[in-house]
Amino acid sequence: MKRLLLGLLFAVAVPLHASVDTVRQNFLDYYAAAGADRAAPLMADALSTLEAQTRDITAPGFLLADGSWSDINYKETPSGSWSPWDHFRRLTTMAKAYRTPGQAFYNSEPLRMQIEAALGYVPSFYGKTTLPAGNWWFWTLGAPLDLGPTLVLMRGGVSQKVFDDCVATLQVHIGSSPTAKGLVGPVPVGENLVWSCFTHLCLALTKDDAVMLAAVRDALGTACTTTNGDGIQIDSSFHQHGPQLYTGGYGGSFAYDVSRLALLLRDSEFALAPAALNSFADYLAGGIAWSLYGSYFDVSVVGREVARSSTSGINGVAALVQAARFDSPRAAEIRAAAAAMLRSWRWPLSPELAALATIAQSSATAGWPSGHQHYRMSDYTVHRRPAFFASVKMFSARTKSGENTNGENLLGSRQSDGRFYLVLSGDEYFGNDTWPALDWTRLPGITVEQKPDAANDSYGMGTRNFAGGTGDGANGVSAMELAPINSVLTAKKSWFFFDDTIVFLTNGITSPSFNRVETVINQWPLQSSVARGANWIAADNIGYYVYPQTAKLNVTTASRTGTWAALGGSTDTTPSTQTFLTLWLDHGTSPVNADAAYAIVPGASAQTMAAFVPPAIVANNANVSAVTSNATTAIVFWTAGATAAGFSADAPSVVYATSSAKSMQVAAADPTNGSGTFHVTVPGRWMTSDVPYTLDARATTLAFPRAGGATTRVTLTPAPTRRRAAGR
């Protein structure tokens, strides 16, 4: 009888405002996984996990009679962590279990009473009037992100006084507008704005506030448009805390939360406008999906979160499976990526995500993006094929090298110095608990001045303008002038991508200090034996070719041990040990204009490398770096007026050209991200309608827009042959 009365109370306590009620029903259906097949494998696993989690957190002696938990220090001041946050997160788990059919705690009266007691305890430590101290995020965003949904789910299911007290507490902390400051903290932007939208959506549903829901819709629409500040960039990368690449950190959470909010607001007057939803879909297909591989984000897009042992691609898979329910011009790509990620995902999902994942698995042909893309707003390049993922992370005067916030990322100062990230399965580094054991002074791909503080927590804006890339969509070239933070080293680094072969050139390596300087080819978590030839090495299906050069090649297979605590942001001092294959070129001390040249061949065996014919290096000097592979020529013009392989340019630029008898495809970009035009001269007489051009007897000069570093692609066809005048 009491359960029946509570059900009636829930029914009559919610006023029927049609548009608000639609959002409320979407909310309840989402968290209860309404309509999902409870016997589907993903769903059954999710329900079992939810039941086990709820049983654990409600165990006698753990959850106390007054609604507090025995392991939480409720007087703790927030810093990088805050144990009382667990109070709210556990409440959300309990509320979902209470409302979700298919497991033992659905509509459980003992659980309802425990939820009521735990909610009743909230005002005692999360006060309504006292100005909080410590890390503002927990007060204004962290706690509300879990208190809010708990209140929506339990409205009508707990005493009115407990409910009203918690709603009042929530409102004091977050305020009445998603775009304004809460009780403490800054005006929300980027992902902080989206978190604020979610907490205010929850508050609106507890108060039947249509005006607040409209404000949520409008603020969310703003967050989905591209920006020069924190948020989605015009190249589909994501920035937070300034011009800092965070597609898989804050940007992954952003994608998860926006896709969830879009589902909750759908079919109502508060639904996202098509333009905002399409802009968000562009970010998912062009940014999120491109930065994921297997079950993880690329390490270069997670920022300081590399120091977290729990880092995975959960936000990515959540965003993709939720957005797979939307219609947009990018829907097919999003659905294919969602299905692809679910093939390798090995952890339980929450019931709400499991329900959507089951649909995604059955409604799309799985497939990751494949090709080449440079993100000019973030100095970041991705090159991916079905069998591997590769990326390069750079920085310039336009971008930040990283950050140390809340004590995290204490050793990551070299992560933007041209760090090369390569994985075949996707879990070689994340899945093997490798990061604590890594030598952070020898990140793959970097040229580094070795000294005691080579890897530390020094971060900042770059000092050089030259960092950029271009390509034809399948392959490309990227380059940067390297001037690392906290180092006197300078160099010019370039990367040439030809299908399954990547050539690495560095020149101008100069360091006036007496510290040794190295160019690191790779630091790979070794799983098998190493084969070696005269100028090549092969291990774990990766081949390495070293061009003849002055620098000495060093190869080691040694074990290293480290802890998560040493990376910052964790108290875990458990040793993690990993054996690494480390290859580096030693430039000695105080090098002047030294250089380095090598190639990496993902998927190669020893037999492949024994017969390997490398791409040809045309030039690698202070003016130009150029490589040819079959009919393709890739060039970095470091200075104006440089020439290579019949090509020249009147400004620093990057060029990728592929020729045939009937056409030439040219992609070019300005790595200084300027405005106006620059000119590239290509061998032969050609014509095009893509850009202005001029001809002389043996060459064609093309006028490319600088376009802030964006790539312009041109198709050239043979120009008519000039006929000689009669009698001559």
Contacts (Cβ under 8 Å, ≥6 apart) of 110: none
Report angle CA 678, 680, 682 to the nearest 5 degrees. Answer: 170
Position 129 pLDDT exceeds 70: no
Work out the average pLDDT over 512-529. 97
SS3 content of the chain, % helix, strand, coil (to 5): 30, 25, 40
Name the domain boundary from 559, 584, 612: 612
* 118 membership: H or E segment, kind and range: helix 109-125
pLDDT value at position 679? 98
Residue pointed to by tokens 């090509």: 647
Burial of 240: CB neighbours in 10 Å, binned 0-12, 13-18, 19+: buried
User: Does 666 lie in the same domain as 636?
Assistant: yes
Report how far Cα 190 is from the mean position of its chain's Cα atoms: 14
And the tokens for 177? Answer: 């507008």
Work out the average pLDDT over 629-654. 98
Contacts (Cβ under 8 Å, ≥6 apart) of 197: 178, 216, 219, 220, 223, 257, 261
How many domains does the chain fold into? 2
Q: Which neighbouring-strand residues pair with 644? A: 647
Work out the average pLDDT over 130-150. 91
Closest CA to 409 of 302, 485, 519, 292: 302
In a domain, 343, yes or no: no
User: Does 592 lie in the same domain as 460?
Assistant: yes
In a domain, 335, yes or no: no
The domain that contains 583 carries what CATH number? 2.70.98.10
Relative to beta strand 371-375, strand 296-297 is: unpaired
User: Does 668 lie in the same domain as 603?
Assistant: no
User: Does 607 lie in the same domain as 532?
Assistant: yes
Sequence-ordered alpha helix ranges (H) in 224-350: 250-265, 274-283, 289-291, 314-323, 331-344
How far is residue 452 from each of residues 190, 200, 488, 517, measured CA to CA in Å?
36, 48, 14, 13
Which range is least confidently modeled, 131-145, 160-174, 371-385, 401-415?
A: 131-145
And the tokens for 685? Answer: 């007489």
Name the domain boundary from 612, 636, 657: 612
pLDDT value at position 555? 98
What's the whole-number average pLDDT of the chain?
Answer: 94
pLDDT value at position 347? 93
**Number of Cβ atoms within 10 Å of the Cβ of 508:** 20
Name the domain boundary from 592, 612, 632: 612
pLDDT value at position 421? 98
* CB distance 700 to 690 below 8 Å: no
In a domain, 344, yes or no: no
User: Does 579 lie in the same domain as 449?
Assistant: yes
Amino acid found at 716: L
User: Does 530 lie in the same domain as 462?
Assistant: yes
User: Does 605 lie in the same domain as 660?
Assistant: no
Q: Which neighbouring-strand residues pair with 649? A: 680
Position 11 pLDDT exceeds 90: no
pLDDT value at position 688? 97
With cut-offs at 50, 70 and 90, classify the pLDDT of residue 6: very low
Range of the domain at 604: 371-612
How many Å apart are CA 471 and CA 702, to the nearest integer? Answer: 17
pLDDT tens digits along 83-125: 999 999 999 999 999 999 999 999 999 999 999 999 999 999 9
Give the CA-trace dihedral at 369, 372, 376, 377, to 10 degrees. 20
pLDDT value at position 128? 64
* Residues of the chain above pLDDT 90, percent: 90
User: Does 586 lie in the same domain as 516?
Assistant: yes
Position 157 pLDDT exceeds 80: yes
With cut-offs at 50, 70 and 90, classify the pLDDT of residue 258: very high
Work out the average pLDDT over 494-513. 98
Closest CA to 489 of 373, 592, 627: 592
Report how far Cα 495 is from the mean position of its chain's Cα atoms: 21
In a domain, 119, yes or no: no
User: Does 645 lie in the same domain as 569?
Assistant: no
The domain that contains 711 carries what CATH number? 2.60.220.10
User: Does 387 lie in the same domain as 514?
Assistant: yes
User: Does 376 lie in the same domain as 491?
Assistant: yes
Work out the average pLDDT over 547-563. 97
Contacts (Cβ under 8 Å, ≥6 apart) of 723: none
Contacts (Cβ under 8 Å, ≥6 apart) of 52: none
* Residues of the chain above pLDDT 70, percent: 96
User: Does 607 lie in the same domain as 534?
Assistant: yes
Residue pointed to by tokens 């691609």: 313
In a domain, 41, yes or no: no
The number of C-alpha atoms within 13 Å of 415 and in the hemisphere containing its C-beta is 31
Work out the average pLDDT over 592-599. 98
Q: Read off φ and ψ for residue 718, nearest 5 degrees.
A: -60, 135
* 496 membership: H or E segment, kind and range: strand 490-498
pLDDT value at position 81? 87
